[in-house]
Amino acid sequence: MDFSNSEESTIIRDNIKKLLGNYSSNDYLLKYDEYKLDLELFKELKQGGYLFDLESKNPFNLEFFLIVCEELGYSNATFDPTQCISDVAMTLSESNTEIAKSALKKLFSEDDYIFSSALVEPLNYDIESPSLIGKITGERYCLTGKKIFSYAADQASCMLISFICDDGIKLALIDPRLCNVRHTSNTTSKPYFEISFSNFDISQDQIINGDKNGLDILKDISAKKILIQASYAKGITNRMIELTSEYTSAREQFGRPIGSFQAVAHRAANAFISNQVLDLNLKHVTYKYLNNNECENELLNLKYILGNTLHEISYTAQHLHGGMGVAKEYPLWRYCLEAKEFELMNGNSKSALAKLSQNLTSNQ
């Protein structure tokens, strides 16, 4: 029994598992091998109250959203709500601007309304330091530059972007249909897009900073991104370890299950230990973040651990499966591709370690 989970979180986990069971069979996933975007699943998550709770004073609960993300990772789900909910909706819920309130009302009331974000830039994976420049022209900002890794930008009704200007860092809501949006291919077939701006005008009314500093907003978005990535990673690694355990118990060589061989057992045990380390650090950092404690270094350490853990467990799982590890008739290959994406997304372990080292040596 896991005493670290409350009764409420257990109920949420069980319910989301049941829902995702309808969207995670191999036959169902095959339909999305070319383009992994399932808007029906998004509607189910939305209507089921797994993304927000309108009956609560605060409709967004990060702790429960992390549970949902873990189960999405475990089931290799065909929709990723991270940008829509974490990047945009949770950020807008803390803004006192009219455009933020209006956009949230549409998200709550319209089934097809979806947010996307454009915060990452080419050769600049640190979203806290945008290089997209907004030139102030009267009451407007004129943008020229690019953003990448915008999820489902072709379906989004509203997009959150960040840019730097003489007044500091600004965040704004825009209509992506007015931008140059180009799909970028990737190994997981997820709907990532490049957004190009050329003399793109933004009015003051579209800025959502309110009375908050733009850098502080981006730091908070970045912190939530790492927690969500780690939750997804935990779901992915849990499933890879399960598949490996099942396979090494059933596959026989020399009249014995290969899991009984010492070398195989040691490799599997090391993968299990690494997964426990990820889980422990995720719980530790989540607790500090939810209690408003300073945790920048702990977040960087978590980012470093999750990248290494995904690489190690993915490599171990494929090695112990042999040829089945890359066979598309077997589900492991999907998780290995997801593991590599989450390992590298928003900067890899090496970049996190470099930033953590810099903080520690400067006594931050």
Q: Which domains occur in the chain, in start order?
A: 1-79 (1.10.540.10), 81-212 (2.40.110.10), 214-361 (1.20.140.10)
Q: What is the pLDDT of residue 2?
A: 54
From residue 284, give the alpha-carbon distance in Å to each of 238, 279, 289. 18, 9, 9
Q: Tell me if 268 sits within 8 A of 243, measured CB to CB.
A: no
How confident is the model over 164-193, as a mean pLDDT?
Answer: 93
- Decide the pairing of beta strands 158-165 and 115-118: parallel
Q: Give the pLDDT band of residue 7 (cuts 50, 70, 90).
A: confident
More confident position, 56 or 289: 289
How confident is the model over 205-210, as a mean pLDDT?
Answer: 94
More confident position, 211 or 242: 242
How confident is the model over 204-211, as a mean pLDDT?
Answer: 93
3-state secondary structure of 134: strand
Q: How confident is the model over 32-81, as pLDDT tens digits?
A: 998 999 999 999 999 999 999 988 888 999 999 999 999 999 999 999 99
Q: How confident is the model over 219-236, as pLDDT tens digits?
A: 999 999 999 999 999 999
User: What ranges make up the beta strands (E) of 38-191?
Assistant: 115-118, 133-137, 140-151, 158-165, 168-174, 180-184
Average pLDDT taken over every residue of the chain: 92
3-state secondary structure of 181: strand
Q: d(Cα 150, Cα 255) in Å, to the nearest integer?
A: 51
Q: What is the pLDDT of residue 187?
A: 87
Q: Give the pLDDT band of residue 4 (cuts 50, 70, 90).
A: low
More confident position, 125 or 52: 52
Residue 38, number of CB atoms within 10 A of its CB:
18
- Judged against a pLDDT cut of 90, whether residue 135 lies above it is answered with yes
Q: What is the pLDDT of residue 364?
A: 64
Q: How confident is the model over 315-345, as pLDDT tens digits?
A: 999 999 988 888 888 999 999 999 998 888 7
**Which residues on neighbouring strands pair with residue 120, listed in sequence order?**
148
Q: Give this prediction's pTM.
A: 0.93
Output the six-digit token pair for 313: 């467990």
- Judged against a pLDDT cut of 80, whether residue 265 lies above it is answered with yes
Q: Tell me if 142 sits within 8 A of 201, measured CB to CB.
A: yes
Q: What is the DSSP string of 222-279?
A: HHHHHHHHHHHHHHHHHHHHHHHHHHHHH-EETTEEGGGSHHHHHHHHHHHHHHHHHH
- Judged against a pLDDT cut of 60, whether residue 169 lies above it is answered with yes
